[in-house]
Chains A and B, each alone.
Chain A
Amino acid sequence: MERKVAVVGYAMTRQASDIGVPRPIMLFELVKGLFDQMGITRDDIDTFVLCSNDFQCGRTISNVFEDTPVGAYMKDETKVEADGVMAVMYGAIRIMSGLYDTALVVGNSLGGSEFRPYLIMDYQLHPAYDRQLGILNEPVTAALQAKAYMEKYKITEDHLNKIAARLLRNAAKNPFALRGKEDATPEYIASSEYLYEPLRELHCYPFTDGACAVVLASDKRAKALTDKPVWIKGFGDSIEGYFLGDRDLSWSRSAKVAADRAYRMAGISNPAKEIDVAEISIKFASQEPIICEALGLFPEGSGAEVADRGLAEIGGEMPVCPSGGGLGAYPFSAMGLIRVAECAKQINGEAGDIQVKDVKTAVAHGQDGFCAQHNAVMVLSSEEG
């Protein structure tokens, strides 16, 4: 028999260019604060799932430096070296196995202050091929992907500006986001410098420090831990091949496969209708329509129309990233966890100035790799059903 799993607690740090404290202190304060707020101790957690990355920590086996700060001393612990949505999936699966009733999932990165993220990404490139050619790096691949979509579906740089402006306006209302601008306009975005045409500085993710923690529990334990469990209804994960020359960058096959799996598990047949809000992980404005369309939130190739008609606004037909998403902050590993936490906030009506009306069902998305090679999708709901 399949066990149900709920999000029963969550907390995140403010996301910053420089959070100002070392990783262990950041994690201790975050997790200790969450336990205190929930009225639990580390003894209430059966298994700990850490989400971090050796490159992004600058030390191998990054989790060994994080276990004690998150309370995992002498406890059952494991690590996901990818995105936070994948870590939440892993935590949920551990509970569904019946071996555990509770899990703490914690992701973090100091990508704002400890290292230059684009340089780290270079070491994901193939050593004897890509690195020999010396052509690819993260923003170049993003620009290749942007052009492929824009050309195919006739969307312009002005549409990218509209997407970025919306996200920065949302981020301005989110007290946890790093970068926001209350009155951001497409013209404001267009005034930032080109980095890799068609991408300007304000189309790209800001380098971010931050962490997020989520407590999961089985249906057996969930109600004892919170009055408002948010149920994980479905999840799916999919990865493309590494070689970019083998991918049609104008859409995301793996995000679509991941979403189809999640929706099947959650019993969702019409995502555009049944989902009330989406929190997706994008590193560049141009990835938003690609991911949204793969998730079935908008029709294929509708990027221009969605941007022109404001359909993804907080009050729009399908609100996407009320938090400001990846243009507001992008702490690696914590990114997808924050998406899950933001979905839980929306479902629980705790999102303050970025609250969407009447949210019952939300979708969280996480990605990893060049041009979102690896995607994970999770459906969350207020209904246990």
Chain B
Amino acid sequence: MAFQMGEETRQVQATWDVTTYNYKVDGRGIKLLADGMKDKKILGIRCHNCGTVYVPGPPFCRKCYIPIDEIAEVKDSGEVVSFAVEMADVRGNPLDEVRVSGMIKLDGSDTFINGRIQVDDWHDVHIGMRVKAVWVPEPQGNLSDIDHFEPI
């Protein structure tokens, strides 16, 4: 009698928890943004060559390929360039309360930031809508100092 092999296809559970990484990140642009938030300021970096304002600021301009470090303050108000209405989490579980995740072009910035948009009825949100940051009562100098955005 031939040896009985196992089923052709089996599922084996193994976790892919590779290791703990000590990521090195460029803290300058993110720190600039976070530090400014303590004073309810939104700070990015402007390219001195092409004028592009990035928020958060990168250490170099991706178009001009030169180092950049000129600080630029942008407004805490802007325009919704796109938005998503979250009705389930990433595992597919329905959310009790829908959330609106917006992509917002702050006045004076050439790049977009993400933030929650709070409205009574998400059907009211539209592209091009003007919004304003609602700050936490006592900003700490964290990215979470902007609690959400609301329509102007």
Interface residues of A (CB under 8 A from B): 21-25, 28, 32, 35, 41-42, 55, 58, 68-69, 71, 73, 110, 113-116, 119-120, 123, 127-128, 131
In the complex, which of the residues B10, B18, B62, B63 contacts A120, with contact meaning CB atoms closer than 8 Å?
B18
10 examples of A-B residue contacts, CB within 8 angstroms: A22-B26, A32-B66, A41-B65, A55-B18, A68-B62, A73-B62, A73-B65, A115-B19, A115-B21, A116-B19
Interface residues of B (CB under 8 A from A): 10, 12, 14, 16, 18-26, 58-60, 62-63, 65-67
Contact of A113 with B62 in the complex, beta carbons under 8 Å? no
In the complex with contacts A25-B59, A28-B59, A73-B62, A127-B14 CB distance below 8 A: yes
Q: How far is the CB of B120 from chain A (nearest CB, A)?
A: 38
In the complex, which of the residues A25, A71, A114, A127 contacts B22, with contact meaning CB atoms closer than 8 Å?
A114
Contact partners of B21 in chain A: CB under 8 A:
58, 114-115
Give CA–CA (A24, B25) in the complex, Å: 8
Give CA–CA (A297, B26) in the complex, Å: 45
Task: Give 15 new A-B contacts, CB below 8 A, not counting A24-B59, A25-B26, A28-B67.
Answer: A22-B26, A25-B59, A28-B59, A28-B60, A32-B60, A42-B65, A58-B18, A113-B22, A114-B21, A115-B18, A115-B20, A115-B22, A119-B18, A119-B19, A127-B14
Contact partners of A23 in chain B: CB under 8 A:
24
Contact of B19 with A71 in the complex, beta carbons under 8 Å? no
- Residue from A22, A32, A42, A116 having most chain B Cβ neighbours under 10 A: A22
Give CA–CA (A123, B19) in the complex, Å: 10
Give CA–CA (A58, B23) in the complex, Å: 8
Give CA–CA (A119, B17) in the complex, Å: 10
Contact partners of A123 in chain B: CB under 8 A:
16, 18
Contact partners of B10 in chain A: CB under 8 A:
128
